[in-house]
Structure formats: structure tokens, C-alpha cells
């Protein structure tokens, strides 16, 4: 059994153990609130996978979490903490909408319009995270502080732009949102009768491409080398500043694509509350997936299940959907806790070996 396979097996067992522990501890919260845990968990699973509509809704909810989780992982690999995914999501959505407005009455087919809009999302996301990347690479500024500040700026900027009387608000000025995008710009549905759009499969493709980039290319090697030890990487001839800047810009571009896909596939317009916190939840998704693109796919599906299933739980037995947020927090708490224990055990074994 290879070392990489053993490491993957340990990660899977750790995640399953963390999920089991979170369900057990979550049961005490449910009992304290006067609800039956087994009934609540059954309704979560039924609400997420109990029908074709429920399953496809879960996949749609998982799509932005998957993409922003990948974005967070890419930044982590380059020793950067992308905590501004929320702002990059909105930046991508804004770039997508602005590109759609340019061709709104052009009559161009979807095969031209959709890539053009997604390119706008990609570039806007890259630009917005490229600013913290530049400040970190050139000025040594903390990317945590700058990305959080820029995230807040973008959220407020979108709120202003789509607000009543805003520059890109819908013409009637009744609702704080943009006009609906044209039909040619909408991502096609994959399964008739559901809202599962092509964006989910684009997200899977991007996850695969990122895995290939990080594991099979020279650029991926440079990113990981910079993340592991920037001084050693610079000594080896790697331009650390350029790698840091490009890594963070690429991370923002992926998060921007999440915003573009959300607009083209689900909302069909931009409004201030487009994200229910995808940018922050995706950090937990990335950590739960152990910063591995394949692991993040399953992690995003889990969080998508909790988001969709909690709505069913609230409708069926009246349990507040906020309890699903407690479950998500418990999952993350146990994953982080078990990861620390795993690392300490590894260090302990390594010291024993040295002796």
C-alpha cells in the first residue's frame, strides 16, 4: 500500500469520524431544544436526496461552495490565506453581469455569450484578489487584512450599484437588482424538470483541472514549493513574489467564476443578497476536504446537503434551519481537532524514529 494511498485513507477515516462525532454532539443540541435527533437527521437526508428535485437542488447549492473551496485551497497551497472569497464571488457576479449588458441586445448565440460572461467573471475575480496578492508580494502586507477589507468594499459596491436608482439597477427601479439576463446567457439545464444547470459540471471540470495543475505541472510545483518554504524556493531560483501574486489572482479568478455561474445558472440577475455566505462557508469546505480538490468535491456536497436538507427539516417538523449551521460548525470543529491530533501523533512518531 503506497504512502499517498494510506494518507488518503486516513483523511477519509478522519472526515467520517468527525461527521459521526458531530452528529452525536448535535443530537444533544436537538434533544435540549425538544426535538428527536433521528427524525431530524432523516428529514435532512430526505430533503437533500429524497427526490430528483431535492438531489439537483443539493448539487446546485454545492456548486459555489465547491468553486470557492477550490479557490481557498489554491491560495493555501501557495501559503496565502484567501479569506475574501465573498468579495471575489460578488466581483465575479458583477463582471459577468456587466459583460452580459454589453451584448444584451446583440442577438449573439449562447455559445458565444456564456463564455464571454464567464470570462468577465474570471477576470474580475482575479483582479479583486490580485490586489491583496500584489500588496503581499511587493509590500509584505497581510493578505488576511487586505482581502477582508476588499471583500467588504465589493459587497457594499454591489449594494450601491443595484440599489434603487443605482447605475445598473433594473429599469423600473422597484427592486434592488439588475434586469434579468437574456435567455442566450442562461446556462442550460442538464436534467429536464429540474434546476440543475451546466455550472455544476463546469465546477467538477475546474476541480479536475486544478488537481492536474497542482500535481502534474511545473507551475503547481512552484506554488507548493513557495507554500512549503518561500526562502528555500527563492534560493532554488523560483520568483516567489510572482508566484504569490499569480497564485492569489488565480484563486480569486476561481471564486469569481463561482459568482458568474451563480448568475448565469441560478439567479439570472445580480442583487445585494446573492450570496448567503458562500465565501465564508467555503473556508470550512476547503478545510474539511483537507485542501485537496477531490476531497473538496465531497465536502461541498456534504455542506450542500446540510443547506438543502435543513429547509426540509424546518418545513416538516419545525426545527429551525439554523441548527444545520450548528452541525456544519461541529463538523469543522472535529475535523480541525482530529487533524491537530493526527499531526501531533506524526511528530511524536518521527521523534521516536530519530531516537
The pLDDT tens digits of the residues spanning 287-325 come to 888 888 888 998 899 889 888 888 777 777 777 767 767
Question: 271 pairs with which residues across the strands?
Answer: 177
Instruction: Give the pLDDT confidence of 318-347 residue by residue, as tens digits.
Output: 777 677 678 778 877 887 777 677 666 654
Asked if residue 46 has pLDDT above 90, the reply is no
Mean pLDDT of the chain: 87
Q: Which of 198, 257, 182, 210 is CA-nearest to residue 60?
A: 198
Residue 245 and residue 133 in contact, taking contact as beta carbons nearer than 8 Å: yes
User: How much is the pLDDT for 3?
Assistant: 62
pLDDT of residue 125: 96
> What integer pLDDT is reported at residue 145 of this predicted model?
92
Higher pLDDT, 206 or 339: 206
pLDDT of res. 32: 86
- Can you give the pTM of this predicted structure? 0.90
| pLDDT in the model for residue 93 | 97
- Tell me: pLDDT of 352 over 70: no
Q: How far is CA 226 from CA 85, 223, 230, 260, in A?
A: 22, 5, 4, 30
Instruction: Please enumerate in sequence order all residues whose Cβ is within 8 A of that of 288, keeping only pairs 6 or more positions apart, or say none.
Output: 15, 18, 295, 296, 299, 302, 303, 331, 332, 335
User: What percentage of the chain reaches a pLDDT higher than 70?
Assistant: 92
Higher pLDDT, 280 or 16: 280
pLDDT tens for 165-191 read 889 998 887 788 999 999 999 999 998
Q: Binning pLDDT at 50, 70 and 90, where does residue 348 land? A: very low
For the cut 70, the answer to whether the pLDDT of residue 7 exceeds it is no
> Does the pLDDT of residue 355 top 80, yes or no?
no
Q: How far is CA 60 from CA 66, 196, 262, 308, in A?
A: 10, 6, 9, 10
The residue with greater pLDDT, 60 or 302, is 60
Amino acid at each position: 500500500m503506497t504512502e499517498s494511498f494510506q494518507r488518503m485513507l486516513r483523511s477519509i477515516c478522519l472526515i467520517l469520524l468527525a461527521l459521526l462525532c458531530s452528529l452525536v454532539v448535535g443530537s444533544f443540541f436537538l434533544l435540549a431544544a425538544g426535538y428527536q435527533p433521528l427524525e431530524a437527521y432523516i428529514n435532512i437526508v430526505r430533503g437533500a436526496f429524497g427526490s430528483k428535485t431535492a438531489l439537483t437542488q443539493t448539487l446546485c447549492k454545492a456548486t459555489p461552495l465547491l468553486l470557492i473551496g477550490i479557490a481557498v485551497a489554491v491560495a493555501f497551497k501557495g501559503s496565502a490565506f484567501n479569506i475574501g472569497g465573498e468579495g471575489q464571488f460578488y466581483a465575479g457576479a458583477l463582471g459577468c453581469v456587466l459583460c452580459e449588458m454589453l451584448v444584451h441586445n446583440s442577438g449573439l448565440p449562447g455559445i458565444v455569450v456564456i463564455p464571454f460572461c464567464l470570462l468577465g467573471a474570471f477576470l474580475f475575480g482575479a483582479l479583486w484578489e490580485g490586489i491583496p496578492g500584489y500588496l503581499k508580494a511587493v509590500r509584505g502586507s497581510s493578505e488576511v487584512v487586505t482581502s477582508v477589507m476588499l471583500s467588504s468594499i465589493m459587497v457594499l459596491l454591489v449594494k450601491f450599484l443595484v440599489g434603487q436608482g443605482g447605475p445598473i439597477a433594473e429599469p423600473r427601479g422597484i427592486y434592488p437588482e439588475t434586469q434579468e439576463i437574456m435567455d442566450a446567457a442562461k446556462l442550460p439545464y442538464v436534467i429536464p424538470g429540474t434546476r440543475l444547470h451546466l455550472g455544476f459540471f463546469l465546477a467538477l471540470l475546474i476541480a479536475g483541472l486544478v488537481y492536474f495543475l497542482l500535481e502534474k505541472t511545473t507551475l503547481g510545483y512552484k506554488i507548493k514549493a513557495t507554500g512549503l518554504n518561500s526562502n528555500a524556493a527563492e534560493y532554488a531560483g523560483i520568483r516567489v513574489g510572482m508566484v504569490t501574486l499569480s497564485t492569489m489572482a488565480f484563486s480569486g479568478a476561481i471564486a469569481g467564476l463561482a459568482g458568474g455561474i451563480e448568475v448565469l445558472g441560478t439567479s439570472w440577475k445580480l442583487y445585494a443578497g446573492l450570496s448567503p455566505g458562500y465565501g465564508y462557508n467555503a473556508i470550512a469546505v476547503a478545510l474539511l476536504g483537507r485542501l485537496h480538490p477531490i476531497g473538496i468535491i465531497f465536502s461541498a456536497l456534504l455542506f450542500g446537503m446540510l443547506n438543502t436538507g435543513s429547509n426540509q427539516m424546518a418545513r416538516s417538523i419545525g426545527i429551525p434551519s439554523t441548527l444545520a449551521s450548528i452541525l456544519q460548525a461541529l463538523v469543522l470543529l472535529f475535523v480541525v481537532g482530529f487533524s491537530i491530533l493526527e499531526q501531533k501523533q506524526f511528530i511524536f512518531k518521527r521523534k521516536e524514529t530519530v531516537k
